[in-house]
Amino acid sequence: MCIGRKIVTFVPRLTTKTFMKKIQVIIERSSDGKYTAYTQNFEKFGLIGYGCSVVDTIDDFLSAYDEIKDIKGAKVPELIFDFKYDTASFLDFYKNIMSKSGLEVITGIHQKQLWHYASGTKKPRPETVKKIEKNLHKFADELKQIHFVI
């Protein structure tokens, strides 16, 4: 049985340095409702994390990286992880921060449809995924333009 933790933000335990290699990590929710994080196209070794929430899965993934560094020592390169989400994982990870009605305004996707994507009952088409991502990035760019009067 999984016990979810509430967390507002996720800060990776690794810092950015110029000599580190960036590795893509895919986070997906499986049909049993649990999550998996795995490396893609990294030939040195495989890393996998599992959990009942996105946060637990990332923690498990980073622990696996720490463990392999402890075992292999200097043979393990310093890595930066670029986490990429499937739609259901993204919606789950940010559910306490962004409401479905707010996401509807941002993405242009009806919140009922977003609920289907979040629950895994329906999977969005590639065009829909691109639309969601594009509109979220546009919203993030708008947020960057906000300045407050002091």
pLDDT tens track for 64-84: 999 888 887 777 788 889 999
Domain coordinates of the chain in residue numbers? 21-85, 87-144
- Strand 35-39, strand 21-29: pairing: antiparallel
Q: Are 56 and 5 a contacting pair, CB within 8 Å?
A: yes
Specify which residues 82 forms β-bridges with. 24
pLDDT value at 8 more than 70: no
Q: Are 89 and 27 a contacting pair, CB within 8 Å?
A: yes
Which CATH fold topology does 21-85 show?
TTHA1013/TTHA0281-like (3.30.2390)
Please state the pTM of the whole predicted model.
Answer: 0.71
